[in-house]
Amino acid sequence: MKVLVTGAGGQLGSEIRFISGEFKDLEFSFVDKNAVDICDFEAVQKALQGYDALINCAAYTAVDKAQSEEDKAFEINEKGALNLAKACEKFGVKLVHISTDYVFDGRAYQPMLENTPTAPLGVYGQSKLAGEKAILSQNLAHSCIIRTSWLWSEFGANFVKTIARLTKERNEISVVSDQIGSPTNARDLARTICTILSKLSDIKGVEIFHYANVGVASWYDFAYEIVRLLEHTYPTISCKVRAIKSSEYKTAAMRPFYSVLDTDKIKAYFGIEIPHWRDSLAKANLKNLIDFDKINA
């Protein structure tokens, strides 16, 4: 199966590239925004010809910045998704599109199902939801939308790497404790996506699935575990993690207070197992999260 991955320079795209050698039956090509502008339909059509499947990791993901760049967010997350869906329909290509927990408002305080009513709180979530609807408006087959949450990786910018950097720079950090979700390792998600590609033929149209690592945490819990692992690995690191309320940490975009996704559907549909977030974090290569040499200098 020939697979094109868009957004190859981001966290998930980088992880798919990293583990691609594990899947001998899949022939991958990776393109970033410089190689293929998903907002350009002609460019998308040209890039997609000859492929059997498309994994779309391309997205505008700057949650706070989206509040002041609404047009750009919708251009990429809605129009870009629509262009990809149209091209996939035209050439008979299977589509795996990545979406987000931010399509929900998180006010129910129970794990969100795929059919839980959506109500995004900010522009980012609104634009990603618009992208989902754009894909569902097309006559696609053997395709899916995967919503995920609190994605982190050894590649790119993310919460884990930010906390690692701050831990090295400060003796104390403050992290919100009243936002709850499921930290998700992009490598775990990447392996799941590559595993299910061969099973997409069982899907008649477009299915929505949720994928997140097992277990729940607040951002404070997540940060505390990151710091604990770093302190255990690097004895010269010592940093206190202080819990604060969201009201003490102002952001341009409102976040859901509860972002836990119910993953029963994807586990049952494809027969997959999902690791606990703590286990995935413990297996991470900490040297890729922080400048090892400077710590030991």
As annotated, the active-site residues are: 124
Q: How far apart are the first and last CA of the chain?
A: 47
Determine what percent of the chain falls in helix, strand and coil, rounding each to the nearest 5: 45, 20, 40
The contacts of residue 9 (CB under 8 Å, 6+ apart) are 32, 33, 156
Contacts with 271 (C-beta within 8 Å, 6 or more apart), sequence order: none
Report in angstroms the alpha-carbon separations of 79 from 52, 59, 198: 22, 11, 27
CA–CA gap between residue 130 and residue 136 (Å, rounded): 10
Q: Please compute Rg for the chain using Cα positions.
A: 19
The structure tokens listed for 19 are 């583990």
H helices then E strands: how many in the chain? 11, 12
Helical (H) or strand (E) element with 95: strand 94-100
6's enclosing H/E stretch is: strand 2-6
Distance CA 127, CA 59 (A): 10
Hey, what are 129's tokens? 């939801």
CB 55 within 8 A of CB 191: no
* CA separation for the pair 243, 163 (Å, rounded): 14
